[in-house]
Chains A and B, each alone.
Chain A
Amino acid sequence: MKLWLYIVRRLLLIIPTLIGLTLITFILIHVQGNNLIIAEYLNPHLTGAARDYAIQQLYQRFHLNDPLYIQYMYWLIQVLNGDLGFTRTPIYSGPVTTALALFYPNTIMLAVISSILIWIIGIPIGVWSAVKRDSLFDQSMRVVTFTLYAMPPYLVYLLVLIVFAVYLSLFPISGAVNPLLLQGIDWYSNGISYPTHIVFIDALLHGNFAIALDSIWHFILPSIGLALGGVAGIIRLLRSSMLEVLDQDYIRMARSKGIREKYVINTHARRNALIPALTSFVYGFAGLLGGVVVTETIFNIPGVGYWTVQALLNNDAGGIMGSTLIFGIILVTASLILDLIYAAIDPRVRY
């Protein structure tokens, strides 16, 4: 199959997934009947007849008397028009769309930095453990990955926090960027930076390197925590797939041709061993995004995950719905990108 045909097919496959994603979000907010919607939109200060009238208005506005599938259609149109409702949490009150613009950049930044860290840490260790099989390095790495794999995610993040921020004082304990630095900056207002909404990139675009450095400084520790939580699986998988590849005939062939061991491992073996690791990374990404929820809570980073927890603790339907949708969209996009990379490097998947 041609590559472009595969891409088109893969893009079309997103549609049912997105419909399912919106459907599940819709079902979640309607399981309790209309309570959550009314609670989300109703002004809590109204009483008596004014309150009844407002509820009646809401019934009309959201077609709450219609069957559920018609309500879903209306809701979908509303979502596609960019109206996701309101959120009321201590960290932000207002439209969900603004909250997303405020929170998702931090989450994306965390996910991207920790993904990069996972590859930087994971590939050399995984490859080296396979090459030096059963050596002291391999044995100790096996113990380390096993322990990391068994730890609940929050313990990994807390240990990183305790060691690097509390005892060594190398990194700030919490927050996404030092707010004092942002005072009086014209491209930053009401918690949203312009034009990309990611403080680090915007600071670079405006040539303000102090803020860029401070922003990345705040993200290093949570990213290391996230990466340590996710790297164990990659190392174990890479080690076993590398061992399998090193046993293949073409590796023996390359060695018998007299190619130096460095090239055999780096060019012949590693590239092939990376392919299964990439697939597992797609599934690992879901765990990574789940970890984001915990890291952001522990490190007080105002991202989508922190917002989700705040919404849970403050009975805020808009926040839960918005964050479920955005996390779903991030995951679907990430798996799409990884699938396309996968298709580009491995011709066998395109059928």
Chain B
Amino acid sequence: MSKELGLIGRRNYLLKRNPRLDELKISFKIFFSNPTAVAGLVITLLYFIDTFLVQFFPWAIGIHDPNQYIINPYNPVPTPPSPQHPLGTTYGGIDLLDAILKSIRVDVEYTLLIVLSGALIGLVLGLVSGFFGGIMDEILMRITDIFFSIPYLVLAIAIIFVLGRSLDIVALSLIIVWWPLYARYARGQTLSIKQMTFIEAAKAAGTRDFWIMFRHIIPNVLPPIFVQISLDLGVVVGVFSTLTFIGFSPTANIPELGYLTSLGLNFVSIAPWAVIIPGLVITIFALAVNLMGDGLRDVIDPRRRSV
């Protein structure tokens, strides 16, 4: 086995090929041969482009006030789609198309913030506790047990109640609720990689713990975490909008899709578009990141990579 690997290395050296570049090419090939994954990527990019434009160049897509909805006091009742309002209006005479373009930015930004910080905290704690084990590992596992003993939405509501009702606090509460998941996941991955023979070999060769962690364990733990992040974006955007859906009174005026849905709640029987359209915008984003995540999972699957 080792002799074969040596030969491959020598062949790469003689042919002046970079194996990492080859692996990257294979990754791209696997990802782009999957049409649904590419569709997911494209839709996700569209959402990101909208976020970017509204954040930095709102005038480019005709948005005047990106931080709040424009309320029309003369006609506060929802109206169906018309040439003037392509997606109709919701409570307060708010134009849905304009409102959705604004809201996507807030949802995407906060979702990215929640998932990335949750993943970072969980990854660090899970890696360290999985790698070193012992009393710290035990304490971390008991803490995550406690977090899992309360339904996460209820815990998030309690945290929001204590710290105050604002979008920042909603995001903070979700980070607090979400990191244990990543800690468990990263710990599990670390434990299973720690058992593998190549770690044993590295130890036998006298490699220091620190080096094993950074050179051998982290590169193997990260890819599945990235897939998890991609899949989680779809879940977190739903949970985040659920919290804003139930947690704010109709006078709050924040550009967020869950809140936008809640504005139409009292008009469900006469104006169903006011709740369905903002909800569908979230659904499409969640679908897209899920498809992208499935594609990424295929990329890191060793069974798909075998030549």
Contact yes or no, A154 B146, CB < 8 A: no
For residue A175, give the distance in angstroms from its CB to the closest CB of chain B: 15
Contacting residues, chain B, for A317 (C-beta < 8 A): 161
CB-nearest residue of chain B to A324: B158
Known A155-B276, A309-B157, A324-B158; judge A150-B290 contact (CB<8 A).
yes
Alpha-carbon distance between A289 and B149 when the two chains are bound, in angstroms: 12
CB within 8 Å of A: which of B254-282? 258, 261, 265, 268-269, 272, 275-276, 279-280, 282
CB within 8 Å of B: which of A3-35? 16-17, 20-21, 23-25, 28-29, 31-32
Say yes or no: is A144 at the interface (Cβ < 8 Å to chain B): no
CB-contact partner of A312 in B148, B160, B290, under 8 A? B160
CB-contact partner of B246 in A29, A297, A320, under 8 A? A297
For residue A232, give the distance in angstroms from its CB to the closest CB of chain B: 11
Say yes or no: is B150 at the interface (Cβ < 8 Å to chain A): yes
Task: Give the interface size class of chain A.
Answer: 35 or more
CB-nearest residue of chain B to A282: B148
- Tell me the number of A-to-B contacts counted with CB atoms below 8 Å: 155
Contacting residues, chain B, for A46 (C-beta < 8 A): none
Contact yes or no, A312 B247, CB < 8 A: yes
Contact yes or no, A290 B145, CB < 8 A: no
Q: How many residues of chain B have a CB within 8 Å of chain A? A: 46
Say yes or no: is B128 at the interface (Cβ < 8 Å to chain A): no
CB-nearest residue of chain A to B290: A150
Q: At the interface with chain B, which of A158-166, A191-199, A218-226?
A: A158-166
CB within 8 Å of A: which of B235-252? 237-239, 241-242, 245-247, 249
CB-contact partner of A31 in B152, B157, B163, B245, under 8 A? B163
Alpha-carbon distance between A261 and B153 when the two chains are bound, in angstroms: 43
Contact yes or no, B265 A308, CB < 8 A: no
Contact yes or no, B242 A152, CB < 8 A: yes
7 further A-B pairs in the complex, CB-CB below 8 A; given A31-B163, A287-B153, A290-B152: A152-B286, A154-B279, A158-B276, A162-B268, A286-B148, A290-B151, A312-B246
- A–B Cβ pairs within 8 angstroms, 21 of them: A25-B158, A150-B284, A152-B238, A152-B245, A154-B246, A154-B258, A158-B268, A162-B276, A166-B269, A173-B269, A286-B150, A290-B151, A293-B246, A294-B153, A294-B242, A308-B154, A312-B157, A313-B249, A320-B157, A324-B158, A332-B149
